Copies of this chain bind each other. A is one copy, B any other.
Amino acid sequence: MRITGTFIDEISHDIPHQNWGKAEWDADFGHMKAIGIDTVILIRSGYRRFITYPSPWLQQHLGCYEPPVDLVELFLQLAEKHGMKFYFGLYDSGKYWDTGDMQHEIDANRYVIDEVWAKYGHYSSFGGWYLSMEISRKTKGAAAAFRTLGMQCKDVSGNLPTFISPWIDGKKAVLAASSSLTKAESVSLKAHEEEWGEIFTEIKGAVDAVAFQDGHIDYHELGDFFAVNKRLADAHGMACWTNAESFDRDMPIKFLPIKFEKLRLKLEAARQAGYDKAITFEFSHFMSPQSAYMQAGHLFNRYQEYMESLT
């Protein structure tokens, strides 16, 4: 199961910034390409007041700061240069995390989607949309919002594909800022299937692919959960991707690159479940030879050896 896509974590909730300029990003797209990545996904175009592109609407209406660089333009141009597709991640006002109400996200992104498509839609590398609000089963009410946002993205862009990347409410579903690594209560396989069946029914047609994050359950649970995910996606006509997390959730330092063996277990499980595509969160901190975390460069080498051993 080759990883062919990666998130780009700018703006980040919880991963310290590498402070790369244009030269470092150009080199990193080259590193991605070298291991077969053809898709880059901006994790979100903004979070609260920090944004990735100069947005008149967000700056005027939500008090966002003028960004020092237009990262959306930079990433679209580098994607063109390196022959990759770019997915645009929607704006995250932070209010959904605070209040559980998705209306703020719908209101803001109505403008963001139009603004972004008008400004950047002409790039041949503009390949799709990422509905960036992360949900799990307890946020089922959010499904209607996903439907609204997904349809707007598709309508404005001539039906470019959309995807989501929710989390499984497993034992490792704890906040990054929490000092714990696990929680006592986690979802059963049966409840997972029932609840996501309802969500998929509601978002069908507005969301083309679902890429569950693979890091919230234990490694021996991967097979069962992945089989359910694939069955659900197939039943609702959605592509089933895996979001193979390349950072380690089992360590007190939140977060450094994952142990290769764990990544391998997760990719093997996705392959066995017949998943359609693997993306990762994310290459530049956790798998890149130029990452500030030197463990990432070694992971890059181990991953390449593994890919070569399969061919």
Contacts and interface: CB of A to CB of B under 8 A. Distances in A.
A291 B251 CA distance: 17
A19 B302 contact: yes
A36 B18 CA distance: 23
A301 interface: yes
Contacts of A24: 298
Interface string A250-263: 01111111111100
Interface stretch (A9-17, A85-93, A121-129, A150-158): A9-17
Q: Which 9 A-B pairs have the closest CB atoms?
A: A17-B259, A19-B298, A292-B294, A179-B179, A16-B256, A252-B254, A19-B299, A292-B295, A16-B251
A310 to B, nearest CB: 12
A138 interface: no
A110 interface: no
Contacts of A63: 220
A66 to B, nearest CB: 10
Contact of A295 (B12, B16, B68): B16
A185 B116 CA distance: 38
Classify the interface of chain A: helix, strand, loop or mixed.
loop
Interface in A2-57: 12, 14-21, 24, 49-50
Interface string A151-190: 0000000000000000000000000111111000000000
A302 B14 CA distance: 21
Contact of A252 (B177, B219, B220): B177
27 contacts: A14-B251, A16-B251, A16-B256, A16-B257, A16-B295, A17-B260, A18-B295, A18-B298, A19-B295, A19-B301, A19-B302, A21-B301, A24-B298, A49-B219, A49-B220, A50-B261, A65-B261, A67-B261, A68-B306, A177-B181, A177-B252, A252-B254, A252-B255, A253-B253, A253-B255, A291-B294, A292-B293
Interface of A: 12, 14-21, 24, 49-50, 63, 65, 67-68, 176-181, 219-220, 248, 251-261, 264-265, 291-295, 298-299, 301-302, 305-306
A269 to B, nearest CB: 11
Number of copies: 3
A252 B181 CA distance: 13
A302 B69 CA distance: 11
Contacts of A306: 68
Given A179-B178, A180-B177, A20 B257 contact: no
Contact of A176 (B21, B178, B252, B259): B252
Contacts of A260: 17, 19, 68
A267 to B, nearest CB: 12
Contacts of A177: 179-181, 252
Given A16-B295, A18-B298, 5 more contacts: A19-B295, A65-B261, A68-B260, A253-B254, A292-B293
